[in-house]
Amino acid sequence: MQLSVTILENETIIQHDNEDLTLTITPKPHLEQINLGISGTEIVGIGTNLKEAYDTYISLAIPWEIEQSHLMTTLAEIALDSGVKLKEQPKLEAIAKNHYPQTETLTENITKILNTFGYSLIKIKKKPAKAVHRWSKDIANIDFYVDYKGAKAVCRWQKRQEMLIKKGAQIVVDPPLNKDGSLGFAAKFTLSIRELNQAKIKNGMTTEDIILKSVNEVGNFLYFAGTNSWLVLKDKDGKTIDEYTVVK
């Protein structure tokens, strides 16, 4: 797909070089065109006569042989199917079979252009906030057990930045490999931690206590990570270290 882009003071005009298609990012909707109402980067309004106020608009000038109502229907269906709650939407129409291929192709080109410029027809899923864990003296003397993928260990979060792995821990020896046989980042990180403690490891077992900096380092050291280690370390009753320390 080849595009020509013209940046003006108040508008950005995007033209498809091989198709009679123009998208204009504009502060005001264009008359007699399909207009997409944008909130943030999400399209939440579709129509030729939008009445709500939006952060910005994208106006679509399309080939004459494509019915505006057909294109608006396909765009609205994509948005609605993904869970977007449209403030304004067109009346959905049935599209005749002989019109559908052209409309579908145009819709695909429009969505690709929108995605390229950072706009989305589909509902943007918010990433869950990363859990925060807090050390306290209350857990300093609690044993947390690891029994995962062949790794076995007894650990303690004894200080804010000190995780103790007690002597006698069993580690996973063979690193997981990428499809091409190379070592991934987690494997390389694990091997670097083990190299620093190589004098305390013999035949896949730790011969002395080992101090690491975090729960995540413990997971790397014991079993090359690959999972949420806050849910792997558990006390004698099965309560995870996450349950003890997560800030709610």
Give the per-residue pLDDT at 127.
61
Q: Give the pLDDT confidence score for residue 98 in this predicted structure.
A: 77
Q: Which one-letter amino acid corresponds to residue 230? A: W
pLDDT of residue 128: 64
pLDDT per residue as tens, the chain (248 positions): 788 999 998 999 999 977 789 999 999 999 999 999 999 888 999 999 999 999 999 999 999 989 999 999 999 988 888 888 899 999 888 777 777 788 888 999 999 999 889 898 887 666 666 788 999 999 999 999 999 999 999 999 999 989 999 999 999 999 998 888 888 878 898 999 999 999 999 999 999 999 999 999 999 999 998 889 999 999 999 999 999 999 98
- The greatest distance separating any two alpha carbons of the chain, rounded to the nearest whole angstrom, comes to 77
Contact call for residues 47 and 38 (beta carbons, < 8 A): no
In 69-192, DSSP assigns E strands to 144-148, 151-159, 162-165
Residues 6+ apart with CB under 8 A from 65: 102
Q: For residue 46, with 0-12 CB atoms within 10 Å meaning exposed, 13-18 middle and 19 or more buried, which class applies?
A: buried
Q: Residue 75 corresponds to which tokens in the numbers above?
A: 């765009």
Task: Residue 195: count other Cβ atoms within 10 Å of its Cβ.
Answer: 9
Q: What is residue 124's predicted lDDT score, i.e. its pLDDT?
A: 63
pLDDT of residue 177: 87
Q: Residue 25's pLDDT is what?
A: 96
Q: Which two tokens stand for residue 114?
A: 């929108």
Q: Tokens 């999972």 identify what position? A: 227
pTM, rounded to two decimals: 0.52
Q: What beta strand segments (E) does the chain contain?
A: 3-7, 12-16, 22-26, 34-39, 42-47, 56-61, 144-148, 151-159, 162-165, 201-202, 205-206, 210-212
Secondary structure element (H or E) that encloses residue 185, with its range:
helix 185-196
| Secondary structure element (H or E) that encloses residue 218, with its range | helix 215-223
User: CB under 8 Å to 139, separation ≥6 — which residues?
Assistant: 157, 241, 244, 245
Could you tell me which of 133, 137, 136 has the C-alpha nearest to residue 218? 133
